[in-house]
Each structure stands twice: as structure tokens, then as C-alpha cells.
Amino acid sequence: MAVRVLIVDDSAVIRRLLGEVLASDPEIEVAGTAGNGLLALTRIPEVKPDLITLDIDMPGMDGLETITEIRKLYPRLPVIMFSRLTERGAVATVDALARGASDYVTKPTSSGSLEGAYEKVREELIPKIKSLCAGRGKFPRLVPAPVAPTRAAARIDIVAIGTSTGGPNALAELVPQFPADFPVPIVIVQHMPPLFTGLLAERLNSRAQLTVQEGQEGKKLESGQIWIAPGDRHMTVERKGGDVVLALKQDPPENSCRPAVDVLFRSVAQAYGAGALGVVLTGMGSDGTRGARVLRDAGGEVIVQDEATSVVWGMPGSVAAASLADRICPLAKIVPEVLRRVTFRRMLASAARAPLGK
């Protein structure tokens, strides 16, 4: 049965473009269209869509007001925002994600060809629709393998987090839970373009007890810090003398992503070995799986978010299916599990170094 999509956009040109893009896939059906937010709210019970694409800039009730109302009435209905890749569009998109939007797709620029715009939207939008509807019985799911056996491990000196679809809201829940005295730095890859990652860091920093910043070349990693990879840059960590510093690179995308979780995880494994803890949160695709294998091969551990609390169980599900997860946790238990492992393993390491009593 095809996925039914409601297209909401005040532009007839965009509605037609999206309609043609979606009609090109036999597993997707355009259930209807609406030219503004108020009309969209009346059409939802009529056409019963599986997913909505929602423009941000609309007269009357705009996309931000509309997503707020949709979440009151339909808390689990997937919504993909359609926004412009501008500073204003980035601000509005991050705000929409905070209000409960599932994901976003950026509008093609007017300078490109119609064919190029069509392909760009098709490549971005259709995989996201299928991923967001996988948990609704429309497409097959991943089956998790048994949790990896517990192993003896060194003290944890860094936490590396990877996420994509649903990540901004997951991070908004997790980041404020880390206490001000958390003893190790945290590095994060969230799949987002430039502008968006800086705004996300600012939003999280306003709510966090730790300092949250967008990654910067050569910055020394210390406790009390959370670094988010900038859009369109791979972020890695490197040892320089006795310090570990950030490095930003524009190497080719991996898993069609830049920044990529695999790139960060590999560098963390190389710099910290068994002292690394990886966390893979909600997201489409499989970015992070190969990096998780490298982390575990180096002696580190990996925690993944469970399916029930993930917007899309692609990335964490892929790690789990590969038998690379040391623990599968609901979102609310991720930080308590991280704190438990960091505290316990650092306590064991300190005890092992202490001189024996009489």
C-alpha cells in the first residue's frame, strides 16, 4: 500500500514540483494538497495522510504555527518541513524541529535548472518519506541482533554522539541532562547543512549546563565542552603532544554525508582507543555502523537508541543489527547510562592506580 502524502505550500509551482517528484515513485501517493496552514488542518482528517510536507513561509498561518497545531492534534504524524537554505530559513527550520517537525528538505535555488531542482528534491525527499514511514508498516524494518557481550574496558575519556533525522529534538532532551561537572568532552555529528549546525549549537547552549559550540579547527578538547560538527565539514579529533584537538576537513562525503558519523568515530577510536564511548541516536541510513565497528575493535563501547523512541531507527538499528551495540536504550535512559559507564569506569581506573593499603 502506497504512502499517502499531503503537500502544504502556498506556491502552486512548488506544489506541482513536489507532486511530480512523489508521483515518480510507485510506493508514494499524493493524497492531496493545501495552499496554507488553515486549509491543511481541515484536509488532514479528510485525506488521512501518512506524512505531510510543510512549507515554512506561508501567508496567514505559517509553517511554524501549523506544525504547532499539528502536534497538538496528531503527535505522531510525520512532518517534513520544506525550507530555504538561507539564514532566515535555517532559523525557522531549527525552530520547526524544536516544535516537533520530523525532518526537513531545503528548497532548490532559483538559479538552477528545473531538471536539477527536480532531481535534488527527489534524492532528498523520497528516502526521508520512506524512512519516516518505515515504522508505520509501510516498509520493512531492521531486526536487531543480540546485544554485544560486555567486555573489560579502560576508563572513558570521551563521548562521541552521532545522529540525523530526529536528532535535534533528541539532543534537546539529552544535552541538558549532562551535569556541569561531567568529566569528559562530548563531540557530536548531527547531519545538517551550514548555518543550521551553528544555530543548533546556540539553541542547545542556552539550555545546557555544559558549553555547547560549533566545532572549530585546532580547539583543545577539555571537560565541560560539547562540540557539534559544522555543516559541510567532517569533524575529527587528533592527538598533538599531550592534547587532543579538533580538526575540520572537506574530504569527500561518506554515506552521502558531510559531516559523517563514521569519520568522527574512526578518529575517536584512533585517538582514545578503549577510552571512547560512542552513542548512535535516531537517524535514517547507516552512518555510524562502520565507525562503531572501529570503536569496538579498539576496545571502546557503543550505546544506541531503541526503536520505540527513535523518529527513524535507521542508524541505531543498523548498529544493533550488526551486533555492535553494547546497550540499546530508550532516549530517556541514554544519559543515565552514559553517566553510569563514565563514572564507574573512571572510578575503577582510579582504584587500580591507587597504592595498596596495609
Active site residues: 164, 191, 287
Distance between CA atoms of 294 and 262, rounded to whole angstroms?
Answer: 9
The residues that bridge with 238 in the sheet, in sequence order, are 245
C-alpha cell at 116: 536539477
Distance between CA atoms of 267 and 261, rounded to whole angstroms?
Answer: 10
Determine the 3-state secondary structure of 58 from DSSP. Answer: coil
Please provide residue 107's backbone torsions phi and psi, each rounded to the nearest 5 degrees. Answer: -70, 145
Please provide residue 196's backbone torsions phi and psi, each rounded to the nearest 5 degrees. Answer: -65, -40
Distance between CA atoms of 202 and 187, rounded to whole angstroms?
Answer: 15
Distance between CA atoms of 23 and 26, rounded to whole angstroms?
Answer: 7
Question: Interhelix angle for 63-73 vs 87-98, to 10°?
Answer: 10
Distance between CA atoms of 23 and 235, rounded to whole angstroms?
Answer: 37
The residues that bridge with 94 in the sheet, in sequence order, are none
The answer to whether 325 touches 307, Cβ cutoff 8 Å, is no
- The closest of 221, 158, 226 to 197, measured between CA atoms, is 226
The three-state (H, E, C) secondary structure of 282-330, written as one string: CECCCCCHHHHHHHHHCCCEEEEECCCCCCCECHHHHHHHCCCCCEEEC
